[in-house]
Structure 1
Amino acid sequence: MSVPLQQSGEASVAAVEIGCDVLVIGGGPAGCWAATEAASSNAKVVLVDKGYCGSSGATASAGTQIWYVPPDPAEREAAMASREAMGGYLSERSWMVPVLDKTFESVNRLADWGYPFPRNDDGEEQRISVQGPEYMRLMRRRVRNAGITILDHHPATQLLTLEGRVVGASGLRRQAGGHWVVNAGAVVLAAGGCAFMSKALGCDVLTGDGYLMGAEVGAELSGMEFSSAYAISPAFASITKTALYRFAQFYRKDHSLIEGAGSARGRSIIARTLLSEPVFARLDLAGTDEVKAILRRAQPNFFVPFDRRGINPFTDFFEVKLRLEGTVRGTGGLRLTGLDCSTTVPGLYAAGDNATREPICGGFTGGGSHNAAWAIATGAFAGAAAASYSLQRVSATDFGPACIALSDTKGIDPAEIIKAVQNEVFPLDINYFRTHSALSASLKRLDALWENVGRATALNEDHSLKLRQAQAMLATARFMYRAALSRTETRGMHRREDYPTQNPAQHHRLILSGLDHIAVRQEAVDPGVYKQAAE
């Protein structure tokens, strides 16, 4: 069915309209698990993806570990306790337990579906990691086999609301042209985090779209101060898989060793050094040829850019940089009101990087592992809850079509907005080593930019997507720095140079709301684990 979209000063544009029970926005792991879980409840499901479901996003491009722990009490206890201190004691066991349970169950389902997990010398399958391409190829097949409608290259640009609840979304048809409207009984936001187009591997489609769409309809965010995740990367490539740097030592330009750069605190030492001079690396701790061969098999993508340039990373020095991954490896996102992954807006659910990972990670996470488990579990939780919510309500197809107004934005260049935002979030002396003066000055510039372009709408389809991505990155940066200014301590990955220690009085979460004016409030965290650790 086609419906007209109103456009200021232009002829109306036809749009494709679809009705369903559950709309899933995003085709990464969280989105695929959400869609399959919703469909298993006999809900009619539509999944839209900015790219091609199964091949776009951070997971599809490389291997990832999974927080997969057998239901042995001692192993589970060790797994939950392992990062509590690192995350500033902001995680909660009431979330960790069900996430571990659901991840264990779901990864076992992957094996049943035919995922080729490797085996150890005793022939036992090792289910603690997956290769992204094979994993996501399998998930796309499962989504299609479940009868779910997949709309590739259909980026969502706004949520639709009716009487205070979310009833669908609209967006662009990048290949066919025109727009789409999906009326739905519930929506799951699984559009990923925000890496600010830093060229981190697989992350340029992750521009914070879900944060902006959620905030526009009144959803709250949490943990946005824990967003200063930088990954070690060759200066000439986008590879941000950092596990292999455990076999590296780091050097100055004259090849003198940077002491401590390979330790647990090594990233901060590298960041500090990069403020004044370049840093080089070499995987000279790999040892034997056998170990080197194992590393190549484990992370084949890591070596591709080296091989293309004739560089042997085991013997040759190569320049590295810290590439911002923002909330993709941070923990901030939309605030969840319970294990059903509902947000503060009826009909809207969030999963994966769109949802704050504080419940299982607190203020610190990294690549894969907990992130992969969070995507699996919250995707499943959100999909099931969204289906239940939708099927108990009147069909969304009874609602009228959206009316989307487009206006002339001559003079607004999305590329200039993106560059301006990157100038505020990339520098290590603003975002990594944070201070009141640097954060305040940066936020003032970001707020002024938002006043000029935050509410602008686009004239044409191509301009619309670029502008919305720029606005989403701008909104995400403002959320990050508003929260970072409010947390006057160092906790998790949030480092305040002017407040270098953790303050027990700030053992709480910071909840953000609003767009033009961003309000911040505190939310208490169960103090049990924190008190036990202190004792």
Structure 2
Amino acid sequence: MSFYPQQQEVGGDSHNLHLSTDVLVIGGSLTGCWAALAARRAGASVVLAEKGYVGTAGVVAAATAGGAHTVPGKEEHNHKVLHGRREAAAGLDDLGLARMVYDETYRIGLRLKEMGFEPNPGRPGGNPFGGEPRLTSFNGPYSLHFLRTALLKAGVRILDHSPALELLASDGIVTGAAGVNRQSEESWAVRAGAVILATGGNAFRSGAMGTNGVTGDGHLFGVEAGARLVAVEFSGHYGITPAGSQTTKGFWYGSATFYDGAGRELPENGWGAVPDVARAVMETGAAYATINRGNAEMPRFARRTANLFQFFERAGIDPFKDKFPLGLLYEGHVRGVGGLVVDGEGATDVPGLYAAGDVTDRTHMTGAQMSGAGPAVAWCLASGEWAGAAAAAFAAGPGAAVRQRPAVGLGGLGLRAPGAANGIAQVRELRAAVQAEILPIEKNVFRSLGGMQASLQRLDGLWGQHRHSLLGGSVREVVEARETAALLAGARWIYRAARQRTETRGLHRLQEHPQADPAQRDRILVEGLDEIRVSREPLRAVAEEAVPA
């Protein structure tokens, strides 16, 4: 049995802590913090629930990330920002929407500056590689501590160590969420006029830096409520890492030379080398790199990036002279682009439910290619701004009455088990079985129709086997069971969509169809849990050129 309330109706004494607020934000990394501040500025009361600690949570906390932005009146710079990943986008980006994001990010940067935020604390000169100084460069620990302080000053109530487990709904409108507190080992429920999902993507517990808690929870919550996902086939992204390290910082690999296990130089560098590195590992047993093409600033800058360089110092490797062995760690939707479908205000298909950041679709920013670094941070900030304002408006309107009505919990797999419940050992066995279908490079860097079908047969079998029995007992076990449910659902969505895209485009590489098909320049949507429904829709017509050259 689980300690978590098994009745779906929320009320009475079913949870230990009951709160009411205008806007509930789920997820407390960069996007969640900014969305909460935006909702608060719009006049809403706000509760923010985070499975870790707000200030050290999420991918940004383990990294240094710079957001790209436009600058009014500097169109040459703006053109470079917009077109930096145009070619790699494989025809699926939207320059008009991207321009709106980058324009908003500039305004957010100015607001952060007014708040006292320092884009590059302790580093004079701004952008270390030249070009326009970034207003939105985030040193993880400093930045999130700054945002936590701002949240508390603004009156946002923070629930640390409080993973959400399910959304609450009334008459088809999302009106809150419920979860547990890891420290008190009690359950909580928050009734809200609107909910914002800012839970990040899904790296399937691969071990990549900062991704351990990024398990696709928001995707599961959204689909359980009736939302749709799009572009989840563009998820075959692996971070290049020194073998044995969790660090997938990628900026410096553009200055690298890559080699296979026999010492032959590989044709690509940067993140474009992922397929070559994977092929080298599969065919020659190893791959190597030397960072030998950078300018004089590169070694100094890299050594100031602690989470990057500590590994080499401990291993006694000089990466600017020595060949070091490489590994590949799956980053999936953290740097991939697929996610929940949202409109220009961050609204999902479900009334009362909003989403922002990596949990949402980002193809408009970088098309079929990875969204990391500048475009990703820009989207996190801009989408958080828009979702916060829109959720506050909904909470003041339709959401105000709905949150007073009786609500039901929407959580299923991993949370409520009408049959005999599994133990935690079975939960972990299931997680390993899901990872075995997603993490191996031979399955997910180079996909095949037969391989994906075989994986789907195993994954669908696991879903059917555990559909009515996956359940944790203690607080920790319930959280693990729910995360595992999100991994299983996410794997089934990825391969369902990927089998429909019979071409190679961006992060979807299909062995039987190694070229892009112009007829498939469209969007693949998935929805549903037990029965997954797949549909296609054409891209909306957009202007090819959004700014003057």
How many residue pairs were aligned?
523
Displacement, 1:74?
4.0
Answer whether contact 2:302 2:309 (CA < 8 A) is retained.
no
Specify the alignment match of 1:112 in structure 2: 114
Equivalence for 2:300: 293
Work out whether residues 32 and 198 of structure 2, in 8 Å CA contact, stay in contact via their aligned partners in 1.
yes
Question: In 2, Cα distance between the equivalents of 1:265 and 1:188?
Answer: 34
For residues 524-535 of structure 1, what are the structure 2 equivalents within 5 Å?
A: 524-529=538-543
Answering whether residue 502 of structure 2 is matched by residue 500 of structure 1, we say no
- Aligned equivalents of 1:264 and 1:389: distance in 2? 40
Tell me the equivalent position of 1:443.
456
Note the alpha carbon deviations across 1:109-165, whole angstroms, 9 max, x for none: 222222223443999954353212222111111111110000001000100111011
Instruction: For 1:123 and 1:113, locate their aligned partners in 2 and report how far apart those are by CA, in whole Å.
Output: 24
Q: CA deviation at 1:469?
A: 0.5
Structure 1 counterpart of 2:361? 356
Superposition pairs for residues 30-109 of structure 1, below 5 Å?
Answer: 30-71=31-72, 72-109=74-111
Distance change >3 Å, CA 482–CA 32, structure 1 → 2: same
Contact kept in structure 1, 2:203 and 2:331, CA below 8 Å: yes
**Separation in structure 2 between the aligned mates of residue 132 and residue 505 of structure 1, nearest angstrom:** 42
1:396 to partner: Cα distance: 5.4
Instruction: Give 1:35-434 correspondences, 5 Å limit.
Output: 35-71=36-72, 72-118=74-120, 119-120=124-125, 126-127=134-135, 129-253=137-261, 256-262=263-269, 265-276=272-283, 277-286=285-294, 291-297=298-304, 299-336=305-342, 338-393=343-398, 394-395=400-401, 398-400=404-406, 402=408, 406-407=416-417, 409-411=421-423, 413-434=426-447
Q: Does the C-alpha gap of structure 1 residues 508 and 124 become closer, same or farther in structure 2, counting only changes over 3 Å?
A: closer
Q: How far does residue 309 in structure 1 lie from its aligned partner after superposition?
A: 2.6
Compared CA separation, residues 330 and 426, structure 1 to 2 (3 A): same
Q: 2: CA distance between counterparts of 1:263 and 1:390? A: 45
Compute the displacement of 1:80 (Å). 2.5
Cα deviation, residue 100, structure 1: 1.3
Secondary structure at the residue paired with 1:328? Answer: helix
Question: How far apart are the structure 1 equivalents of 2:477 and 2:352?
Answer: 29
TM-score if structure 1 supplies the norm length?
0.92
Larger mean CA deviation between 382-391 and 70-79 belongs to 70-79
Q: Which shows bigger deviation, 389-398 or 424-433? A: 389-398
Deviations 1:290-322 (A, max 9, x none): 64223212x221011221233322233322111
Could you say if the C-alpha distance between residues 80 and 30 of structure 1 is closer, same or farther in structure 2, counting changes exceeding 3 Å? same
Q: Is residue 2:476 matched to residue 1:467?
A: no
Contact 1:19 1:396 in 2 (8 A): no
* Deviation digits for residues 237-269 of structure 1 (CA, Å, limit 9, x no counterpart): 100101122232223445x23331436742221
SS of residue matched to 1:331 = coil
8 Å contact kept, 2:261–2:281 = no
Amino acid in structure 2 at the alignment position of 1:5: P
Task: Provide the C-alpha distance between the structure 2 equivalents of 1:81 and 1:424, rounded to a whole number of angstroms.
Answer: 35
CA shift at 1:402, angstroms?
Answer: 5.0
1:68–1:104 CA contact under 8 A, matched in 2? yes
Unaligned runs of 5+ in 1: none
Measured after TM superposition, the shift of residue 428 of structure 1 is: 1.6
Tell me: CA distance 1:386–1:212, structure 2 relative to 1, closer, same or farther (3 Å).
same
The amino acid that maps onto 2:422 is K
Query: Does 157-166 or 497-506 show the bigger shift?
Result: 497-506
Q: Which residue does the alignment assign to 2:537? A: 523
Judging changes above 3 Å, is the alpha-carbon distance between structure 1 residues 145 and 488 closer, same or farther for their aligned structure 2 residues?
same
Secondary structure of 1:144 counterpart: helix
Q: Identity, % of aligned pairs?
A: 37
Q: 1:82 to 1:125 in 2, by over 3 A?
A: closer
Distance apart, 1:280 and its partner CA: 2.1
How many angstroms apart in 2 are the aligned matches of 1:323 and 1:523?
A: 32
Contact 1:89–1:530 (CA under 8 A) maintained in structure 2: no
Measure, in 2, the Cα distance between the counterparts of 1:116 and 1:531: 33
C-alpha contact (below 8 Å) 1:21/1:395 kept by paired residues: no
Any conservation in 2 of the 1:168–1:187 contact (CA below 8 Å)? yes
Deviations 1:198-228 (A, max 9, x none): 1111001000000001111110000100111
Q: Distance in 1 between matches of 2:539 and 2:132?
A: 40
C-alpha distance in 2, partners of 1:361/1:386?
26
Q: Deviations over 1:459-495 (max 9, x none)?
A: 3322110011111011111111111100111112211
Cα distance, 1:6 vs. partner?
Answer: 4.6
Q: What CA distance in whole angstroms lies between the structure 1 residues aligned with 2:528 and 2:131?
A: 54
SS of 2:387's equivalent?
helix
- When residues 531 and 492 of structure 1 are mapped into structure 2, their CA distance, relative to the original with a 3 A threshold, is farther
- Paired amino acid for 1:260: P
Tell me how far 1:417 sits from its aligned partner. Answer: 1.4
Residues 464/123 of structure 1: CA separation in 2 closer, same or farther (3 Å cut): closer
| Distance in 2, Cα, partners of 1:369 & 1:16 | 39
Amino acid at match of 1:440: Q
Question: In 2 relative to 1, CA 85–461 (structure 1 residues): closer, same or farther, beyond 3 Å?
Answer: same
C-alpha separation between the residues in 2 aligned to 1:518 and 1:123?
A: 46
In the aligned structure 2, how far is the partner of 1:96 from the partner of 1:32?
Answer: 22
In structure 2, give the amino acid aligned to 1:502.
A
Cα gap change, 1:226/1:60 in structure 2, threshold over 3 Å: closer, same or farther? Answer: same
Q: Please give the secondary structure, in 2, of the residue aligned with 1:327.
A: helix
1:5 is matched with which residue? 5
**Structure-2 separation of matches of 1:111 and 1:216:** 39
Instruction: Summarize the Cα distance change of 1:445–1:15 in structure 2 as closer, same or farther, 3 Å threshold.
Output: same
Distance 1:26 1:219 in 2: 18
